[in-house]
């Protein structure tokens, strides 16, 4: 009898671990789940319900640079004009699609620029498809300085190539050539051979293809710039480079980087309401199962272990209210980086340092790059 119960428990745990490993490994299409219904819209003003939970894109009172998404439409949210006990009225600048109607499902989003550099910023660019280890890689290329470039890498799942657009105008205005690459399972790039995310364990090989492209264009100095999982890809790329290629990297910029999948998954389990000890057990079992399915060495993806080996200046943005990456993980990483400029922002959510204060964010990036990857002559625009 006891053996039967033990066997049933073991099978149940195995099935649960398999299910959770599916959740972290499979590249499911990202759905922009609505968070609320629009109350009214008239003459450029939209009335929205006040937030009833703490989810990232349900906070209709959040000030900063955000968009409202509804149906197939996009609008830029402006300042709060008025509010009462249950609702808030804000300016709304229509970007794509018809105006919202009362009752339509909607949500906020931090990806303000959701099309391409030409449509969103009037920047000329080349759309490229490079051949990577897993197939085609979707890239954007803006050629300016013949020797210095910024290499941009977006985040996971919802973080398609459009994520990098928030900083594009500033980088172009500074005179850099700018290259953005979408690694496997994202944008128009090919999927991975086994159909799974590898959390930078293989995606760095895609990024290496982009580096080879930049070398072929004559780029001799560059900065890596990664958002969320793009930060992990940047660090894994840097870690795996041979000495000659590593000498090309003059600086690294990280925005809310994924620095250890284990801690991130455990943090996610805790946010689901799972107590600490069961969350630790479940995370360990899930990662063991995921490792068997993918061959990923999860321990090697803990960037705290190799942070001391980063020999170039690092600029790090992180918000203390991040509900995706635990701030404690980033703080621990920051203590190990030899040459670090840490912008630790109170109350800021995941990859929203730019949204909260675009001018301050861009100024910080500009100052950091001017000090570590200076461009001699800025272009005239």
Whether CATH 3.40.50.1820 fits 117-260+302-372: yes
The torsion of the CA quartet 141, 214, 153, 361, rounded to 10 degrees, works out to -80
User: What is the tens place of the pLDDT at every residue in 320-360?
Assistant: 999 999 999 999 999 999 999 999 999 999 999 999 999 99
Q: What is the pTM of this model?
A: 0.93
Q: How far apart are CA 284 and CA 280, in angstroms?
A: 6
Binning pLDDT at 50, 70 and 90, where does residue 10 land?
Answer: low
User: What is the tens place of the pLDDT at every residue in 98-150?
Assistant: 999 999 999 999 999 999 999 999 999 999 999 999 999 999 999 999 999 99
Domain ranges of the chain: 36-109, 117-260+302-372
83, β-bridge pairs: 88
62's tokens: 């959040």
- pLDDT higher than 80, residue 30: no
Query: For position 185, what pLDDT does the model report?
Result: 92
Q: What percent of the chain has pLDDT above 90?
A: 75
Query: For position 78, what pLDDT does the model report?
Result: 96
- pLDDT higher than 70, residue 3: no
Contact 353, 60 (CB under 8 A): no
Query: For position 48, what pLDDT does the model report?
Result: 97
Q: Taking the CB of residue 4, how many other CB atoms lie within 10 A of it?
A: 8
How far the first Cα of the chain sits from its last, in Å, is: 79
- pLDDT higher than 80, residue 85: yes
User: What is the tens place of the pLDDT at every residue in 251-285?
Assistant: 999 999 999 999 999 898 888 777 777 778 788 88
Q: What percent of the chain has pLDDT above 70?
A: 93
Q: How far apart are CA 120 and CA 69, in angstroms?
A: 16
Q: What 3-state class would DSSP assign to 105?
A: strand
323 phi/psi in degrees, rounded to 5: -100, 10
Binning pLDDT at 50, 70 and 90, where does residue 33 land?
Answer: confident
Contact 141, 171 (CB under 8 A): no
Query: For position 286, what pLDDT does the model report?
Result: 86
User: What is the tens place of the pLDDT at every residue in 181-196?
Assistant: 999 998 899 999 888 8
Exposure string for 119-137, b = 16+ CB within 10 A, e = fewer: ebeebebeebebebebeeb
Q: How far apart are CA 298 and CA 314, in angstroms?
A: 24
């Amino acid at each position: 009898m006891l053996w039967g119960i033990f066997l049933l428990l073991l099978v149940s745990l195995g099935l649960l671990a398999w299910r959770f490993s599916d959740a972290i490994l499979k590249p499911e299409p990202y759905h922009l789940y609505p968070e609320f219904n629009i109350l009214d819209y008239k003459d450029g003003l939209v009335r929205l319900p006040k937030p009833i939970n703490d989810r990232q894109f349900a906070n209709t009172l959040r000030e900063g640079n955000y968009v409202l998404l509804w149906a197939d439409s996009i609008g830029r949210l402006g300042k709060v004009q008025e509010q009462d006990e249950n609702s808030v009225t804000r300016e709304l600048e229509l970007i794509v699609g018809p105006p919202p109607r009362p009752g339509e499902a909607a949500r906020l989003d931090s990806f303000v620029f959701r099309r391409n550099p030409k449509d969103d910023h009037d920047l000329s660019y080349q759309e490229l498809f490079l051949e990577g280890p897993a197939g085609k890689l979707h890239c954007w290329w803006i050629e300016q300085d013949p020797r210095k470039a910024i290499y941009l890498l977006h985040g996971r799942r919802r973080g398609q190539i459009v994520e990098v657009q928030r900083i594009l105008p500033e980088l172009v205005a500074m005179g850099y050539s700018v290259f953005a690459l979408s690694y496997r399972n994202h944008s128009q790039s090919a999927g991975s051979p086994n159909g799974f995310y590898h959390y930078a364990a293989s995606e760095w090989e895609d990024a290496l293809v982009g580096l080879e492209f930049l070398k072929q264009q004559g780029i001799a100095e560059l900065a890596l710039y990664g958002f969320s999982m793009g930060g992990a890809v940047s660090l894994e790329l840097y870690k795996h480079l041979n000495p000659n290629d590593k000498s090309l990297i003059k600086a690294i910029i990280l925005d809310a980087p994924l620095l250890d999948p284990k801690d991130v998954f455990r943090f996610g389990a805790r946010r689901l309401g799972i107590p600490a000890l069961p969350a630790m057990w479940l995370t360990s079992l899930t990662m063991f199962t995921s490792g068997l399915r993918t061959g990923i060495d999860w321990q090697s993806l803990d960037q705290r272990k190799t942070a001391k080996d980063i020999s170039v200046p690092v600029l790090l943005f992180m918000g203390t209210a991040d509900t995706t990456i635990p701030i404690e993980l980033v703080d621990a990483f920051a203590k190990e980086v030899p040459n670090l400029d840490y912008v630790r922002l109170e109350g800021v959510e995941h990859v929203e340092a730019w949204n909260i204060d675009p001018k301050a964010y861009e100024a910080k990036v500009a100052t950091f790059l001017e000090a570590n990857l200076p461009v001699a002559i800025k272009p005239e625009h």
